[in-house]
Amino acid sequence: MKALLQSHWNLVLAVNLLLGIAFWFGFLSDLSLRGTLSDILFPPFIVTFAIITLGTLPTEKRKFGRLAYIPSCSGGCLSLLMGLIMLIPPFTLAFLFGVSEITGEVRIQQIASPNNIDFAEVYFRPVGAYTGGSGRIYVRVVNRYMPFIERDIYAGKTHTADEKTTNYVRWLDNNTLYVSETDKKISIGSVQPELPSLAVVPLMIVGFIQGQIRESQLTAPLRDVPIYPARTENESTSYWDIEKTSERIYFLPQAQIKEVYDWYLSNLSKLPWEMTDTQIALNSDPAYQGYNAYVYCITALKHDSNQSTVYYFEIAELHRLLEPDYRLIDPDLWDVRVIVATPNPDSIYCWLK
């Protein structure tokens, strides 16, 4: 095999170059190989082919010949790199969801254009409870004279289609498809430039980093709040856009809520803190029926130069040793949860008035 490839090294160069150009042309447009699996396997194939054939070049031709490998090697390696990144947390869950969707993909409709030159193929991918709708719809168009290539012309969520749907789209004319669910007309037209699907990965990374930086900035006021001097568990900070509130939460295993509450009353009465309000509410969770489980609420101001910031402290007892019928196993073992929020409260028990 090696001898055969070496004797046709110029043909090998041409094939590698064509494979690389084909990859990048499809990567940057709405064209792709027909079928989802072929799109997934094409990048590793062209890299493998390049590695196998690279050693067949005559020594005197390698310096120039390697240039023909750049498109295929760069494209294939980029795809593999993006795939590997998706295996790294926090993107792993999205990768697993994506794999689940792809493996569940089914073609639910194939309909020819009026002139029988193009075929619209509709694919349905079921999704779980992690997103809205019953699934995702992909509409691709295949030309009768190039059956191994398709154009990706539409993708979106669906609330009405499933694996049994057979009439999701219809042709209005030879160049226009109609999607009844969204009342949308799709003009087929010519090949269009398209943001590569793999670009979603770096965009996700950039978005994640930006989100972490933004959340760190928004939760910065919570870094210096008083923390009860005991062993804490599951501490976290977060920012809730809807409530426009930063929140810090932590748990105190086997703590006594009255001691935690008294400690906060004392420390929030010292400069730069000023306590402005306190409340005590009964925990209405059904798990606490018959037991006096209370939630202690404190509102305090922190004075910093000419600025004052309001903080809301919620201190609740959470019993973790309950029988199925809600009887206490050991009445002396309680967990205490402390939530600190600013500049708005975040509680279903406190500050309801």
Single-letter residue type at 87: L
d(CA 12, CA 300): 75
- Examine the pLDDT at 313 and tell me if it is beyond 90: yes
Q: pTM for this one?
A: 0.60
**Which is more confident, 133 or 79?**
79
Q: Find tokens 């105190």 and name the residue.
A: 252
d(CA 78, CA 72): 10
**What per-residue confidence (pLDDT) applies to 326?**
47
**What per-residue confidence (pLDDT) applies to 292?**
57
CA-CA distances (angstroms) from residue 72 to 32, 47, 78, 80, 107?
Answer: 15, 6, 10, 12, 30
- Examine the pLDDT at 93 and tell me if it is beyond 90: no
Residue 316 bridge partners (DSSP): 295, 337
- What value does the mean pLDDT take over residues 273-302? 78
How confident is the prediction for the chain on average, in pLDDT? 84
